[in-house]
Chains A and B, each alone.
Chain A
Amino acid sequence: MFNRKQSRRSAIGVAQIALLAVTAAAPFSAAHAAGTLAGTDITNTATATFSGPDGNPQSVDSNAVTLRVGELLDVSVASTDTGDVGVLPGAANRVLKFSVTNGGNGPEAFALTADGSAGGDDFNPTVTSIVLDTNGNGAYDAGVDTVYAAGSNDPVLQPDTSLTVFILSSIPAGATDTQRGQASLLAAAVTGTGAPGTSFAGQGEGGGDAVVGATGAESDDQGVYRVNAATVALAKTASVVGPFGGTGAVPGAVITYTLRATVSGTGTVNNVAVADPIPAGTTYRPGSLTLEGSTLSDAADGDAGRFTGSGIAVSLGSVAAGTSRTVTFQVEID
């Protein structure tokens, strides 16, 4: 193939040179969203037909102009979590999910970096690793998916294909409910990045140049961790009824204690238990233990509460945020 335009002078007086039939040929062009594959040749040849002096039809081909399609470097990164990812304070290996798409027209390796220290959020997740979804199931599989190591396993993506990439982070122990922390994933073409149009001579797929596309050949996006921490608050109140109807704390008076456990925040608290010792100088009134207004037996049996001999103990189980449980019991002043 001749890929240079010829000077017009060479057109003159070359009738005896054999006609070199060159047809427009682009052997592996594909209808691709990312465009013609890098390394494809675009060849243009025109033909003229005319009647010569003798009246016979004649045909002449032009020179062939060949242009090689260079490699366009484009990438896009997008967070693919459906929303904030709920975490607990101090949690490790919390997963954010991203997709990295090669928007260029040639196979390209991409270097990945993750950053949890950007501003604009409430806490900084500590990024502990970047993991490639090597089994392609879109979910993080510990020990199965490959941990990314910059420079040694930069993922190579074919044009128009995507890879799922996970960021694993630890959440600070001090983070509190509803706080949000961002972590971002950056993918950059290994061939090079820069302003759109920046060219890397000879470094494109197929030996042509590589040219930075509209994305600058790098892209990033953020995922968000959100702390879903529920907290339990316990409030204790007492009311006294004297033996003669007064409210004085005199011997024989009955004290009713009300313990109200309230869960606030987000989520559910599991295995909530309330225990309260019987105050010195008082005696537990048998059969006085209630939960949500229902009496609980004093024995350690099928219900949620019991009298231990020195105090009461009630298991509340799982309590959702925004709800509360009320326990009452009575003692008599000795």
Chain B
Amino acid sequence: MKKILLALFALLLPVAAQAAGSVSLVSEVFVERTETNADGRSVTTRAEPDMVVPGDNLVFVLNYRNDGAEPATDLVLTNPVPDSVSFSGTDDASAVVSVDGGETWGALAALTVAGADGASRPAQAADVTHIRWVLSQPVPQGGAGELSFRGVVK
């Protein structure tokens, strides 16, 4: 019985990267808070919280790594923007976004959404539902990278 329980526990253990192939993927979320220190200067701290409140600035970080013996090709990383988070941008110009739940992709400036009156309007950061990175080069064995985007707790 104990063994079975242990085995179950092993199954349930949170697993950072389900390496179905040879690429591992780790998601981290940080909250950025800006405070004014004793010198009157504003200091931005980045912490890994369990709890956030509306208005908190979040930084989503994706770490990928090719743990396999061969290069990984056609690597595409997709991160749905969680509900209750409003996408606020990425510093990574190679990212594409979707404003329709992942149906179509492109640079934010090239996308439109239907406004309240039915007419289409240019998409804004808050409309983004997914962000995606399409890596043009194969990731060699042991190759790794970090991608990030930002959001605000609604």
Contact = CB atoms under 8 A, between A and B. Distances in A.
A61 B53 CA distance: 26
A213 B50 CA distance: 18
A263 B44 CA distance: 67
A7 B17 CA distance: 10
Nearest to A71: B53
Interface residues of B, number: 55
A141 B10 CA distance: 64
B18 interface: yes
A48 B14 contact: no
A25 B63 CA distance: 21
A23 B78 CA distance: 12
Given A15-B19, A69-B52, A52 B76 contact: no
Contacts, number: 199
A32 B54 CA distance: 10
A62 B27 contact: yes
A69 B82 contact: no
Nearest to A3: B50
B78 A46 contact: yes
A71 B54 CA distance: 9
Interface stretch (A35-43, A227-235, A252-260): A35-43
B18 A61 contact: yes
Interface string B121-140: 00000000000000000010
Given A52-B68, A60-B25, A65-B29, A47 B15 contact: no
A43 B14 CA distance: 14
A49 B17 contact: no
B14 A2 contact: yes
Interface string A221-250: 000000000000000000000000000000
B63 A8 contact: yes
B77 A29 contact: no
Nearest to B52: A67
Contacts of A213: 53
Contacts of A44: 27, 29, 60, 79, 82, 85
A181 to B, nearest CB: 39
A45 interface: yes
A46 B27 contact: yes
A70 B53 contact: yes
Given A11-B19, A12-B24, A52 B72 contact: yes
A105 interface: yes
B75 A53 contact: no
B58 to A, nearest CB: 8
B100 interface: no
A60 B66 CA distance: 12
Interface in B21-63: 21-29, 31, 48-55, 58, 60, 62-63
Contacts of A298: none
Contacts of B78: 46-49
Contacts of B31: 67
B154 to A, nearest CB: 5
Interface of B: 10-11, 13-29, 31, 48-55, 58, 60, 62-65, 67-70, 72-85, 139, 153-154
Given A14-B15, A14-B18, A62-B26, 20 more contacts: A5-B29, A8-B63, A11-B17, A11-B24, A11-B65, A13-B19, A20-B18, A25-B83, A26-B84, A29-B83, A35-B154, A43-B82, A45-B80, A50-B72, A52-B70, A60-B21, A62-B25, A63-B15, A65-B29, A67-B49
23 contacts: A5-B48, A8-B24, A12-B24, A15-B21, A17-B13, A18-B11, A18-B18, A25-B83, A31-B154, A46-B79, A50-B74, A51-B74, A60-B19, A60-B23, A60-B24, A64-B27, A65-B28, A67-B31, A68-B52, A69-B54, A70-B51, A72-B54, A208-B51
